[in-house]
Amino acid sequence: MNRLLLDTSAYSGLLRGDDDIQRFIRRADALYLNPIVLGELRAGFGAGQRARKNEGHLRRFLGSPRVTVLNIDEETSERYALIMNSLWSAATPVPTNDIWIAASAMQHGLAVLTMDAHFQRIPQILTRHVPSRPTSR
């Protein structure tokens, strides 16, 4: 089964119409977000000019039967600690929110769909990395 946890960059790529992101999403059996991704998205919406439009797109996306929002719980925190300690030992910095996203992926056996290369530094998870390209707009 092809199950993907979207990070913020992947969801944003979907909204921008990135062909590679759309292909991964079309092929997925199930899609997941976690509250960290939702918070990052909504913070970005609030800072932009199209907050209402973007929130509408997000609501429709979340309403899909293929989409589930994962909870962050005690087990997630254990995975977070494991990943964080591993990254500290390797002197490999990764943004804190992305470690929480990785911990959710690890907990639920999901691959992270992302446009951010630093997820590939986290050996405990699988990634589907789509390199970001400059926009032509």
When the pLDDT of each residue in the chain is averaged and rounded to a whole number, the result is 95
Q: What is the pLDDT of residue 109?
A: 97
Give the tokens for residue 130: 């789509």
Binned at pLDDT 50, 70 and 90, residue 29 comes out as very high
- Examine residue 52 and state whether it is found in any structural domain, yes or no: yes
* pLDDT score recorded for residue 135: 54
Domain total in the chain:
1
Q: What is the pLDDT of residue 14?
A: 96
Whichever domain contains 110, its CATH number is 3.40.50.1010
pLDDT for 132: 78
pTM of this structure: 0.93
| Cα gap 133→61, rounded to integer Å | 23
> Does 134 fall in a domain?
no
Alpha carbon distance 75, 81 (integer Å) = 10
- Three-class SS string for 119-134? HHHCCCCEEEECCCCC
Residue 41 lies in a domain: yes
- pLDDT, tens digit, 9 for 90 and up, residues 87-121: 999 999 999 999 999 999 999 999 999 999 999 99
In a domain, 85, yes or no: yes
Whether 133 has a pLDDT exceeding 90, the answer reads no
Confidence of residue 134 (pLDDT cuts 50, 70, 90): low
Percent of the chain with pLDDT over 90: 91
pLDDT tens figures, 39-56: 999 999 988 899 999 999
Residue 7 has pLDDT above 90, yes or no: yes
Choose among 115, 95, 128: nearest CA to 11. Answer: 115
Domain boundaries, position 81: 3-129
